[in-house]
Amino acid sequence: MFSDKFKHRFEIFITYFGIGIFVLHFILIMLIKFGLISGQYFPDNLFGHPFASLFSPFSILLIYEVYLLIYYLRKSYTKSVAKQLEIMALILLRNSFKDIGKMMQGEMPILQSDLIKDISGFIAVLLLLWAFYAIENNRKVTRYELSPDFIKLKNRLSSFLVLVFLILSIYSFSFWLLELIEFSHNHDSLSNPSNVFYQDFFTLLTFVDVILLLSSAKNLQNTILVIRNSGYVLATLLMRISFGFENWERIFTIVLGASVAVFMLWISERTAFKQPKAST
């Protein structure tokens, strides 16, 4: 599952699958709009306006981003953290389409919607991601000799994450579809689609990060790198708990987590923390 051939095929699958889901979502919205399907069976924020169909392709794109996170976890912890920031940025961008239906219909003023919050968070995380990549591209990478046992552990954990990723994706999507069926009877039964899958996945990812941190400590000769990786775990945890918040608290927690990741990478590259040459 980590070969270039599989990665390329998965990219093609995601492309066509995303287009198919987008078309299906758009058709459902148009059927509701022309009265061919009752709108009581579908939430307005996802099926109330044609623009809401843009929520679907971004959801499929996020699936590929999660795969890339696991893919890079085997190679570089820092790159996998960058993928976490990309995922959070895409989630915020995707969320911007949830309430666009009501806004386009004039049912919700823009200042009272979640659009301002999500776009503000998206811009902030995107700027932090830009800073993260700028630091990453300019840093001098020091190669450390990792033990075969640690490399084997990373590979096993990555394979385990892929398996959980597949199972959790199917389970989360199926459970949400069942809730969507019950929506016509109980409008409070439908979970926030933004929290489907990602809340559980980031919980698991946090524990995987802790395992890798404890296992890698003896392989890293520079203490600041251990501290940096610990900061990465904190950033992952903050992004995980953001799913339990709403409104500006959610945005603040996501931005705070991304800021911690950028700061830890930046501070670890300061000259004062570099190992001095042995004096003679």
Counting Cα atoms < 13 Å in the Cβ hemisphere of 206 gives: 16
Domain ranges of the chain: 4-273
Rounded Cα distance between 216 and 30, Å, is 53
pLDDT at 280: 34
Counting Cα atoms < 13 Å in the Cβ hemisphere of 122 gives: 14
- Nearest CA to 166 out of 95, 237, 70, 233 is that of 70
Judge contact between 209 and 234, C-beta under 8 A. Answer: no
Per-residue pLDDT of the chain (280 residues; tens, 9 = 90+): 777 788 888 889 988 988 998 999 899 888 888 888 877 777 777 777 787 788 888 888 888 888 888 888 888 888 889 999 999 999 998 888 776 666 665 666 666 677 888 899 999 999 999 999 999 888 776 555 566 777 777 788 888 888 888 888 788 777 777 777 777 666 665 666 666 678 888 888 888 888 877 776 666 666 777 788 889 999 999 998 998 888 899 999 999 999 999 999 998 887 666 655 443 3
pLDDT at 29: 87
Count other Cβ atoms within 10 Å, centred on residue 252: 16
Judge contact between 82 and 129, C-beta under 8 A. Answer: yes
Hey, is 48 helix, strand or coil?
coil
Count other Cβ atoms within 10 Å, centred on residue 260: 20
Q: What is the dihedral of CA 247, 249, 253, 256, to 10 degrees?
A: 110
- Provide the CA 122 distance to its chain's centre, in angstroms: 12
Q: What length does the chain have?
A: 280
Burial class (CB in 10 A: 0-12, 13-18, 19+), 220: middle
Helices (H), the chain: 4-33, 44-47, 55-73, 77-95, 100-104, 115-138, 148-182, 198-216, 223-241, 247-268
Judge contact between 27 and 56, C-beta under 8 A. Answer: no
pLDDT at 211: 82
